[in-house]
Structures are given as structure tokens and as C-alpha cells.
Structure 1
Amino acid sequence: MRSINYQEHDRLRVSFGSLRTLPREALVVLSLVSGSHVVNHMYLVLFPPILGVLAMEFDVSLATLGFAMGAQAFVNTVFQLPFGYLSDTYDRTLTFGLCLVLGSVGALVLAAAPTFEWLLVGQIVLGIGVAGHHPAHYPLLSDATTETNRGRLFSIHGFAGNIGFAAPPVVIVAISSLDGLNWRHAFGLVGVVGLLYAVVAVFVLLRHVPTSVRQPNGPARPNDGRPTPSLWRRLRAGTRALVESPRILALGMLALVASTAMWGITSFVVTLLDQGYGVGSSTASLTLSVMFGVGAVFMLVGGDLSDRYAPAPLILVSYVLVAAFVLLLASFVLPPSAAVVAAVLAGSVGSLSTPARDKLADVLSARADLGRNFAVVTIGIMVGSTIAPPLFGVIIETFDFRIAFASIAVVALGVAALTVGIVTRWGEGYSLGDAPATGD
């Protein structure tokens, strides 16, 4: 496990105002992948703002729509590693462009869907496309930057992703408020913008970013005359190394449980406010945008806090707060205006912990396995987003919103419990309460 000197790390931090000092290629890559992050995250949350509308128009239950959202997340999870292989072995630009095009086609299928079955097809195509954006974005950012500014650019990339989450409710409400237009026109606009962005972004990548950044680094070849191990042998070795790393598997489980809680909130908070609290549908939809906007700010704040304090307490506190606000919503004791505020905080305060989770993954990793370990964390996130919509949709249909959101609160508390367990078992290099001086 590599040694982490946090005092040195603090000295290396640079203010966001010095972005103008970055090399031109780094600024171009940051701009392109951040824009792509906005577009891809818009695709992920097209359904939640209008679940009630879709349920009535296609005559299906919330549980059925939850399964459609789960199908999108499932294929997103399944195609993470194939896109990663394409990006690492063949071409990052191809991976970048392909994910944007497929996601846009999926959004256009959703816009034109005549039946629920076509909605499901659109969600699957969209999910396949979205799966490619992280495998393309992170290698491009990594090779365009240095260790002294990489974390700062990663946080800007994450901030852009949250803006993408916030945009669909605003776009859908704005388009639907115009005479003769509805959610289909909004989905179609998002798909067309995604296609245009794909063309422009790929052109700029090819024209203005050097091959050394766009092309994969490739595996190191042995220089002693021995043949390169076969793909099967490398897969077996990687799987064995992963199985023998219980701390990273535990971190993947932490990401899975946290994602389940947060996607439970994201998927059904608009419907809760609308049907449960009597908040107007437009206001409820815009609440989702505000939630992600506030979450983007919390993510930047969390990045600063994670450089000052140990990561575990930040994760612990943020998910205890998530559970508290969700329980307030589940209690139905709040007036509608207070429920809107509680919903915003329930869905955003967890973002404080995202940089801390990444820091914990870094501390519990050696440099040689860092990429693999972050892949495990990403897969945990995607599995959670697969589970949450159908799970809580079924609970809502079988019981009610009260039981469903109380269940989400229990899952959020599970994140806190897992954090304590991971640090107690494997956090030898630092305590729960103190910023670490070195990692294991």
C-alpha cells in the first residue's frame, strides 16, 4: 500500500482560479469530458421528473417504470468493462463518441415510443451508451493532466455531472409549458443536442488533442523474449487479485449501498412530493433540479473537507444526515414547503461524501491496483442504481410512500455502519476521527 502524506498533498493543492495556467490540451480535454458528463447524466434521469405522467400515458404502474429504469442501470453496469476494454486497448475517442451517439439514439427512441415496450428498448439502448462515458473520460483526463492538478479537474468533472442530473426537470418543465409541446419534445431535444455534441466533441478531440492523450497507453510488453500472457490468463489473474482484496470488495459494497439509497431518493422524490404532499407537479420536478444543483455545490465543499479531515467521518456524517432528512419525509409531519426543503437536502447532502469515498479508495489501494479498485467502486454504484428503482417501486406499490422512504433511510444508515466496519477492520493507518498522516 502506497504512503499518503496529507500535508504534502495540501501543499500541492491549487486554487480553482488558476485554471488558466493549465496547458491548452488539458483545458480542451476538461471542457469536452465535462460537457459529455452533463449530457450523459441528463440521459440517466429523464424518467424521474415525469414518472406520474408516464404511468398514466402508458397505463403502467410505478413498479413497472422502476423496472425500466433498473433495466437501463443493469445494461449500464454490464457494459462498463467492455467499454473499458475498448478504451484501454483500441481507442478512447471511439469510446467517447460511441457512448454519446448511442445515448442520443436511446433518448430519441424514448421520445418516439408508442408503447411501454418501446420505452424499455429506449432505456436499454440509452443505458448501453451511457456505460462508455467513465471509461473514456477518466483516461483522457488522467493523461492530459499531472498529479498536482488531476484531483482538481476530477472534481470539476464531477460538478459537471451533477449539473447534468439537475438539467432534465428544468428542460422538461420548460418545454412542456409551451403550447402544443410535451415531454416527448423535451426528450427529442435532449437527444438531438447529444448527437450534435458528439459530432463537435469528436472533431475537436481529433483536431486539438494530441495522440498521446487520445490513444491508450497499452499494456507493458515483457522485454525478456517471453510472450505476453493470454487474455484469459490476465482475466484469471485479475479476478484472483480482486477476490484476495476483501477491503476493496467491501468498498464496492459501500458504493452499492450508498447508490441504492441515493437512487431510491432520486427515482421517487418527485412522485412523493406530488402525490404524497400535494406539491404541484412542476414545482416537484424543479425540486429535483435544485437537489442536484445543491449536491454539486456540496461535492465541491466535500472535496475541500476531504483534504482537511479523514474520509470516514465525512461519509458517516453525510449519510446519517441523509437518513434523518429521508425519515422526516417519510413521517409526513412536514408542511409541503418544508417537505420540498427536506427533499432537496435528502438528495444532496450525500454528495459531501463522494470525494471522501474516493479518498478512502485511494488510501486503501496500492498505485498498481488503483484503476481496478475504482472500477469496482463504479460497478458498485451501477448495481445500486439497478436495484433501487424496481425495489422501492415495488415497496411503494405494495405498501406506501411512508414504508418506502423509511426503507431508504435504513439503507442510508447501512452506509454509515459499513463505513465504521471498513475503517475498523482495514483502516490501520488512521483513526475514525483524525486526518491521516500516512496510509497503509
Structure 2
Amino acid sequence: MSHVYILALPPLFPFLRDSLRVGFVELGLALTVFNVVSAVAQAPIGFLVDRIGARRVLAAGLGLGGLALLSIGLVGTYAGLLAGAALAGLANGAFHPADYALLSAGIPKAQLGRAFSLHTFAGYLGTAIAPAVLIGLALLAGPGVALGVVGLAGLLLVGLILPMRLPAAQGEDAARARAAGGAEAAGGSVFTAAIASLTVFFTLLSLSNGAIQNFSVAALVGGYGVSLTQANAALTAFLMLSAFGVLVGGLLADRTRRHGDVAAGAFALTALLTLFVAVADIGPVALMLALGAAGFLSGVIAPSRDMMVQAAAPPGGSGRAFGIVSTGFNIGGAAGPLLFGWILDHGAPRWVFGASVGFMALTVAVALGDRIFARRRSSAGTPGA
């Protein structure tokens, strides 16, 4: 549902442009507001998760996101759109800290990688269905009704979250953290070199994947001589195989503790495939195969990525840790469109993929660097190593 919230507005831009009588720049500002508010909110909400519990924060985020979309649909003005985007960004800041705190506390460690992979796969499913659902509803009854229906669905789901039984492990973990009574319970130890490195890691992932997800179609049509249908098929292959790569990555994550190596290896291969797309003149079938394979490998790293964060989190601090590192997604989400839009405006569509390769190479370096932090934590006897 959180991924449906994230993608609720972009598919409706053609409808909203006409109904609100604004341009795409003004509509794009709503996405910027969403990402900026979410980036600012995630770390404080992560601390709130560790203090008052993940269930209440998760329910609040789900409810606030539903109210935000419902208000945009009901108000029907540009000012209402910006205000609703800000509220939706605040709601989005709750999901990663709360979700991962619940999973980290309630799932046995030997199964945590698969749990992360199923959770991420569900997010990919939300991403896949959101455009069809929103556009279909808008065609039937208008964009206001489409947003209202999605908002109401989120509010109804709050009723499932609030009575949810929490795993006993979460209460025990939180009790131990509170009993410690020191800096870890207060949250000081979460600001470590490993967490900072992983925040950079998430930012680079957002930049490289965002280039392909958001700008590959325009780049392929503008610089590769392929049709819009062929370009969309290649992007669909990337997205669909990414989802299945996540499931495979969950199995790998539960079979190794060298999560940084898994992430680095898979993303290095992704970079090579993307580089091939950037420099080679290939037909539409080869293009779809190359981007499909790249998508699969980029999905493989997701559970290992989450396990790296879990390993770096202090006792009772999963919410804080995931709240901080997830701001990287919003940083990349805010900066990437400006960079890749500038590249396209300057007539260099192949550099959309070239820049993505550069960010992937930096991501590999950061993932390998996590091995150093992990080794230091292990040698120092830090819990969670």
C-alpha cells in the first residue's frame, strides 16, 4: 500500500494538468515536496518507532497517507495538491522505520532475509498495480475519485494494523534496550560510520535505479532508434524481473553473512549490463534481454541491502537505523530527476545509462566498504555484527 501511495500522483498528471490548469513543472513540484518532507521526517520517525512502538507509527502513517490522498481528491486545487503531497511525504516517512522494526524483531534471524525479500516483493507489486488502478479509476470517474478510492482503502487497512498482535520478540528487544539505559537506548550509537555509509549506499541506489525506471524510456526513444512500445517493453522487463530477483535475493541473504559481497557482486554485473546498453547499438530484443537481466540482478541485492542495515543497527534501534538510511532514497529521488532531465535536455540520452553505471560503480565500492565496518564491529564484539 505504501508503494501505491508513492505512485498515486504521477499516473494522474495528464488528468491533473487539465483539471487544475497547471503545467508539468508545477505538478513536478508536488513530487519534490513529497520527497523533501519524507527525507526530513524519516529519521525522527525512526526514533519515534523505537520509543512508542512500530505498530502505532505504522497505523498512523497508513492513515495519514490515506487522508492525504483523500484530501487532494476532495479539495481539487493546486494548493490542496501541495498540502496533500506534504502530508503524504510525512506519512511515507513512517513506513520503512516501522516495517523493518517489526520484521527485525519478530522474524527469526535465519529467515530474516526471506522475510525482507517478501516485504520488498510486495512493494514491487504495489508499484506494478498503482498506475493501472489509478488510471483506470480516473478514466471511469475522474482523478479526484481515483485518489479518494485509494485514500479510503488505506484508511480501511488501518483497522487491520491496530489490532495486530505483535511478536513477543519485539517487546523483549525493546525492554532490553530500555534496561540498558545508556546511549544506545537514547539513540546516540546509531550515528555511526556504518550507518552513514549505508545512507550513501541507499542514495546511490536511488540514483542509479531511478535513472532506468524514470528516464530509460525517453532515453531509448531519443537515442536508440526504438519505438515507444519497444522502450516500454524493455522497462517492463527490467521492473518485472527485478521483483523476481528480490525473491532469489532473499534465499541468498539467509545463506550467507557476507551481504556486502552479495550486493557488490550482483550490482557489479548490473553495471556491466547497463554499460553494454549505454555503448552498444543493439536491437529491441537484445535490449529487452539486457535490461531484464540487469533488473533481475538489481533486485537480488535488495534483501542483502536490508540485512546490512539490520547488522549495523544498535540493540532496539532498528527503527532509527532504517529511518536514517532510508533518507537516502529521498535524497536520490529529489536530485536524480534534475540530473537526468538535464542530460536529456542537452541531447545526450545514452548518458542516462552512462551516469547510472557511474552511480552503480560507486554503490559497489560502498558495499565492499561495508565489509570493513562489519569486520570492525565483529572484532569489537558489537551486537548485531
Task: Compute the TM-score of the two structures, normalised by the length of structure 2.
Answer: 0.77
Relative to structure 1, the CA distance from residue 181 to residue 209 in structure 2 (aligned partners, 3 Å threshold; closer, same or farther) is same
Does residue 8 of structure 2 align to residue 60 of structure 1? no
Q: How does 1:411-430 map to 2 (within 5 A)?
A: 411-423=359-371, 427=375
1:257 paired residue among 198, 204, 220: 204
| CA RMSD in angstroms, aligned pairs only | 4.2
Question: How far apart, in 2, do the equivalents of 1:285 and 1:252 lie?
Answer: 31
Question: How far apart, in 2, do the equivalents of 1:101 and 1:365 lie?
Answer: 27
Paired letter, 2:24: V
Structure 1 match to 2:93: 131
Question: How far apart, in 2, do the equivalents of 1:100 and 1:77 lie?
Answer: 17
Relative to structure 1, the CA distance from residue 148 to residue 246 in structure 2 (aligned partners, 3 Å threshold; closer, same or farther) is closer
Question: How far apart, in 2, do the equivalents of 1:304 and 1:211 lie?
Answer: 23
Question: How far apart, in 2, do the equivalents of 1:54 and 1:400 lie?
Answer: 30
Structure 2 match to 1:204: 160
2:46 paired residue among 79, 84, 97: 84
- Structure holding more helix per residue: 2
Structure 1 match to 2:381: none
Question: How far apart, in 2, do the equivalents of 1:419 and 1:98 lie?
Answer: 33
Q: CA deviation at 1:98?
A: 2.5
Q: CA deviation at 1:411?
A: 0.9
Relative to structure 1, the CA distance from residue 312 to residue 145 in structure 2 (aligned partners, 3 Å threshold; closer, same or farther) is closer
Q: CA deviation at 1:353?
A: 1.0
Relative to structure 1, the CA distance from residue 82 to residue 340 in structure 2 (aligned partners, 3 Å threshold; closer, same or farther) is same
Q: How does 1:32-43 map to 2 (within 5 A)?
A: 39-43=1-5
Question: How far apart, in 1, do the equivalents of 2:124 and 2:276 lie?
Answer: 24
Does residue 283 of structure 2 align to residue 319 of structure 1? no
Question: How far apart, in 1, do the equivalents of 2:233 and 2:68 lie?
Answer: 24
Is the CA contact 2:100–2:319 (under 8 Å) kept in the aligned structure 1? no
Paired letter, 1:40: S
Q: How does 1:10-409 map to 2 (within 5 A)?
A: 39-46=1-8, 58-60=22-24, 68-90=30-52, 92-108=54-70, 119-142=81-104, 144-147=106-109, 149-172=111-134, 174=136, 181=140, 185=143, 188-189=145-146, 191-199=148-156, 201-207=157-163, 209=165, 217=174, 238-239=187-188, 241-243=189-191, 245-273=192-220, 278-280=226-228, 290-309=237-256, 310-331=258-279, 333-364=281-312, 367=315, 372-409=320-357
Relative to structure 1, the CA distance from residue 118 to residue 375 in structure 2 (aligned partners, 3 Å threshold; closer, same or farther) is closer
Question: How far apart, in 2, do the equivalents of 1:391 and 1:66 lie?
Answer: 14
Question: How far apart, in 1, do the equivalents of 2:167 and 2:290 lie?
Answer: 48
Relative to structure 1, the CA distance from residue 388 to residue 222 in structure 2 (aligned partners, 3 Å threshold; closer, same or farther) is same
Q: CA deviation at 1:213?
A: 8.8
Question: How far apart, in 2, do the equivalents of 1:365 and 1:220 lie?
Answer: 12
Q: CA deviation at 1:251?
A: 2.4
Partner of 1:333: helix, strand, or coil?
coil
Question: How far apart, in 1, do the equivalents of 2:8 and 2:162 lie?
Answer: 30
Is the CA contact 1:261–1:411 (under 8 Å) kept in the aligned structure 2? yes
Partner of 2:24: helix, strand, or coil?
coil
Question: How far apart, in 2, do the equivalents of 1:145 and 1:80 lie?
Answer: 23
Is the CA contact 2:50–2:174 (under 8 Å) kept in the aligned structure 1? yes
Relative to structure 1, the CA distance from residue 411 to residue 153 in structure 2 (aligned partners, 3 Å threshold; closer, same or farther) is closer
Question: How far apart, in 1, do the equivalents of 2:297 and 2:74 lie?
Answer: 36
Question: How far apart, in 2, do the equivalents of 1:337 and 1:406 lie?
Answer: 20
Paired letter, 1:156: L
Question: How far apart, in 2, do the equivalents of 1:49 and 1:426 lie?
Answer: 41
Q: CA deviation at 1:70?
A: 3.4
Question: How far apart, in 1, do the equivalents of 2:137 and 2:154 lie?
Answer: 20
Question: How far apart, in 2, do the equivalents of 1:425 and 1:150 lie?
Answer: 21
Question: How far apart, in 2, do the equivalents of 1:286 and 1:115 lie?
Answer: 35
Percent identical among aligned pairs is 27
Question: How far apart, in 1, do the equivalents of 2:108 and 2:254 lie?
Answer: 18
Paired letter, 1:80: Q
Relative to structure 1, the CA distance from residue 202 to residue 170 in structure 2 (aligned partners, 3 Å threshold; closer, same or farther) is closer
Paired letter, 2:158: V
Partner of 1:132: helix, strand, or coil?
helix
Question: How far apart, in 2, do the equivalents of 1:47 and 1:269 lie?
Answer: 20
Listed as ranges, the gaps of 5+ residues in structure 1 are 1-38, 431-438
Relative to structure 1, the CA distance from residue 147 to residue 321 in structure 2 (aligned partners, 3 Å threshold; closer, same or farther) is closer
Listed as ranges, the gaps of 5+ residues in structure 2 are 379-383
Question: How far apart, in 1, do the equivalents of 2:357 and 2:210 lie?
Answer: 12
Is the CA contact 1:295–1:347 (under 8 Å) kept in the aligned structure 2? yes
Question: How far apart, in 1, do the equivalents of 2:352 and 2:102 lie?
Answer: 40
Q: CA deviation at 1:220?
A: 5.9
Q: CA deviation at 1:41?
A: 0.7
Q: CA deviation at 1:160?
A: 0.8
**What is the aligned length?**
376
Please, which moves more after superposition, 311-320 or 206-215? 206-215
